[in-house]
Structure 1
Amino acid sequence: MINEDIDIFLGLDVGKTDHWACGVDRQGKQLWNRTLPNDETKLVELYQQLSAKGQVLVVVDQPATIGALAVAVAQHLGLPIAYLPGLSMRRIADMYPGTAKTDQKDAFIIAEAARTMPHTLRALTVSDEDEATLGMLKGFDQDLARQITQTSNRIRGLYTQIHPPLERVLGPWLDHDAVLAVVAAWPTPAQLQRAGQARIAAKLKKHGARRHTAWAGEIMTALRKQTVTVVGTEAAAMVLPHLANQLVSLHAQRADVAASVERIVEQHPLYPVLTSMPGVAVRTAAIIIAETSGKTFLTAAALAAYAGLAPTTRQSGTSIRSERVSHSGNKRLKRALFLSAFASIRSDPISRDYYDRKRAQGKRHNQALIALAHRRSTVLFAMMRDGTLYDAPEPRPLALAA
């Protein structure tokens, strides 16, 4: 980021109710250093007060969530905005004396980094309404996914406690609302026995299970493998219907979110660009758009580092030299690109060829996928920068025998 036209560098260590604001001029003199309420009126007052003394650059450590209002007010006033990643801020903080970590010190470090090390900043642009909505919906979708996993595990845990053979049958089917309807209607082994195979099959069929007869037969077979009633079964009978209905509701909410995300993504100009790459479908495209929205990446390496796909090199003379997978970066984007790479090796010969070469070099499965995801992120960067569709390179010619 270029700062020749900036007169005042305002660092904001954002918080839920209050930020700490530190403003310095080009010579490093502090013009402001105190708390700032997370309130529109107070933000406008500070921005206008400092703007009267020159061009202000607003720098935050969290551009979304609790820092969103500070960014939005600055954008509304036409002030330039930048983002200092948390990892960069902590590394810069190590160059200053003392080990204390306070909001006041963090705000000062953000302002000083903007003044003396502008290359550490990332530009923030105005995100359009669709991208902001997409980011919120994808965050909610992640929350729903965690709740679904938690509730499913709770149901499986109860059945493992009272009837392990039944859990081995029902557990893998909890993604199907038809099975959850059966659990809600007849939660205990005794109730399932009394209901009988015909009623269970009818319930499954009513809720859309195509293999209703086979599933009902497997449930009855599992029930015959245990005749003892375990202590706690009656308590499970009260809990399981609530958990099953809760899981059905979570599935419905996630389906609604997915439909909304799909409508937004399909109208985004980057949708045809991203989905032209093998392994990138609607959900992956939504995550890429949401997680890169408002951020500027000057190079493919910057995007890979942001996604946590760039390897970390460790070297000390001739005794230590290694590369390992980075544990930093945007976890949501990293996971999406990793799963996309995994999907691509099944359908894209180019990706499969690269993956096989990495495996032949001695890399483990996950290491080869990370390398493939890194390579694909480089291609994605060029595609998003130029707005061009994926163009598969020609396969490498086979070496001729001597």
Structure 2
Amino acid sequence: MTQRPPQVWAGIDVGKGHHWITVVDADGDPLWNRKVINSEPDILTVFGEVMDTADHVTWALDLVEGPAALLLGTLANHGQSPRYVTGSKFAAFKKSFSGQGKSDLKDSYVIAEFARCLRRQTVPVPAPPRITKELTLILSHRNGLSVERTRTINRMRAMLTSIFPELERSFDFARSDGPLVLLSGYQTPAAIRRMGESRLTAWLAKRGVRKAATIAEKAVTAAKAQDSAISGEDLAAELVAELAQKITQMNVRLKELESKIKEILSQHPQAPIVLWVWLSSREALSWENAG
């Protein structure tokens, strides 16, 4: 019967749909290599198999975010403390395996070997506190929605420019909901002229738009500057209205996410620092409150 080694090193090459895990012994000889589906049942099965190979297992991986979340959570739930391998030293270590007849080895083997040979160059991966994890998730989601909002605004402006450039120049649609409400109902010079300034002001005010009179005045002025109807105007106007409504919905959701972020931050012991990072990210993305 093969003697059970006192310690092994399990290197994990993290992937989106699956991971590769290689287990090496104290001499660096591969004992076990397997593709692991990124699902809890498969991860648990492999976890049990690896733990059966030795008295102690050192887990090492090359990614600690995104697709690694379920794997890290499973390890933490079973009392394991994985280590993170990254940086220039790991890159140099990895290069040393090229040109030695080992081109068929998985990256998981290199990760396991790095953890075995250079443990002090690895970083322990603590289980993330709930609040930190929630902040990471919600900030990532908010940033993605903010980028999508910017793209949608640009699409809407390009569409509006094709039929009514004077109106497009009259408003900053990224800063206020009022002009978006206007576009949800009226997008062409003729339609705005027919409404007139007083009726358009009342229409906007009824929908809760601030400074309704100012917006109506600008819109009517723009409409009087263009008598021509552009080919394809009706379809373009319909699409502009659809995009304006979509942006308004995004604005509402972004405000909800900001409230949720502030709520989570209020529970964080380092809220001022995290808030500063958040606001810096917010400024960098050039996202501004709608309203």
> Same-fold call, TM > 0.5?
yes
Aligned length: 278
| 2:255 partner letter | A
Other-structure match for 1:40: 40
1:21 Cα deviation from its structure 2 partner: 0.7
Other-structure match for 1:147: 148
| 1:126 partner letter | A
| 2:66 partner letter | T
Matches within 5 A, 1:1-400: 7-52=7-52, 53-85=54-86, 89-98=90-99, 105-170=106-171, 172-272=172-272, 280=276, 283-284=278-279, 336=281
1:98 Cα deviation from its structure 2 partner: 4.8
Alignment check: 8 A CA contact 2:160 2:240 kept: no
Distance 2:186 2:139 in 1: 35
| 1:139 partner letter | S
Alignment check: 8 A CA contact 1:174 1:180 kept: no
Higher RCO (C-alpha 8 Å, min separation 6): 2
Distance 2:244 2:18 in 1: 41
- With over 3 angstroms needed to count, the CA separation of the structure-2 counterparts of 1:100 and 1:260, relative to structure 1, is farther
Distance 1:80 1:201 in 2: 63
Tell me the percent identity: 26
Alignment check: 8 A CA contact 1:160 1:167 kept: yes
Other-structure match for 1:289: none
Task: Return the index of the structure with the highest Cα Rg.
Answer: 2
- Which digits, 9 at most, give the CA deviation of each residue in 1:301-352, with x for residues without a partner? xxxxxxxxxxxxxxxxxxxxxxxxxxxxxxxxxx63985xxxxxxxxxxxxx
1:138 Cα deviation from its structure 2 partner: 1.0
Distance 1:88 1:228 in 2: 66
1:203 Cα deviation from its structure 2 partner: 3.4
- With over 3 angstroms needed to count, the CA separation of the structure-2 counterparts of 1:142 and 1:188, relative to structure 1, is same
| 2:30 partner letter | Q
TM-score by length of 1: 0.63
Would you identify which runs of 4 or more consecutive aligned residues in structure 1 move more than 4 Å?
Answer: 86-91, 98-104, 272-275
- Which digits, 9 at most, give the CA deviation of each residue in 1:158-187, with x for residues without a partner? 1111122211113x1344222211101112
- With over 3 angstroms needed to count, the CA separation of the structure-2 counterparts of 1:207 and 1:180, relative to structure 1, is same
Gapped regions of structure 2 (runs ≥ 5): 1-5, 285-291
1:46 Cα deviation from its structure 2 partner: 2.6
1:99 Cα deviation from its structure 2 partner: 11
Distance 1:139 1:206 in 2: 36
1:120 Cα deviation from its structure 2 partner: 3.8
- Which digits, 9 at most, give the CA deviation of each residue in 1:239-283, with x for residues without a partner? 1121111111111111111111110111111114656xxxx28x3
- Which digits, 9 at most, give the CA deviation of each residue in 1:42-72, with x for residues without a partner? 3223323333313212222222221111111
| 2:219 partner letter | I
- With over 3 angstroms needed to count, the CA separation of the structure-2 counterparts of 1:88 and 1:261, relative to structure 1, is farther
Distance 2:221 2:95 in 1: 64
Distance 2:283 2:177 in 1: 29
Distance 2:103 2:240 in 1: 47
Distance 1:101 1:215 in 2: 69
| 2:48 partner letter | Q
- With over 3 angstroms needed to count, the CA separation of the structure-2 counterparts of 1:132 and 1:116, relative to structure 1, is same
- With over 3 angstroms needed to count, the CA separation of the structure-2 counterparts of 1:211 and 1:72, relative to structure 1, is same
- Which digits, 9 at most, give the CA deviation of each residue in 1:137-175, with x for residues without a partner? 1111011101111110011001111122211113x1344
| 2:16 partner letter | K
Alignment check: 8 A CA contact 1:184 1:240 kept: yes
* SS of alignment partner, residue 263 of structure 1: helix
* SS of alignment partner, residue 27 of structure 2: coil
Greater shift, 81-90 or 100-109, is seen at 100-109
1:126 Cα deviation from its structure 2 partner: 1.2
- Which digits, 9 at most, give the CA deviation of each residue in 1:216-243, with x for residues without a partner? 2222222222222222211112211211
Gapped regions of structure 1 (runs ≥ 5): 1-5, 285-334, 340-402
- With over 3 angstroms needed to count, the CA separation of the structure-2 counterparts of 1:74 and 1:234, relative to structure 1, is same
Other-structure match for 1:396: none
* SS of alignment partner, residue 107 of structure 2: helix
* SS of alignment partner, residue 162 of structure 1: coil
Greater shift, 209-218 or 107-116, is seen at 209-218
* SS of alignment partner, residue 162 of structure 2: helix
Distance 2:121 2:194 in 1: 68
Alignment check: 8 A CA contact 1:12 1:21 kept: yes
1:210 Cα deviation from its structure 2 partner: 3.4
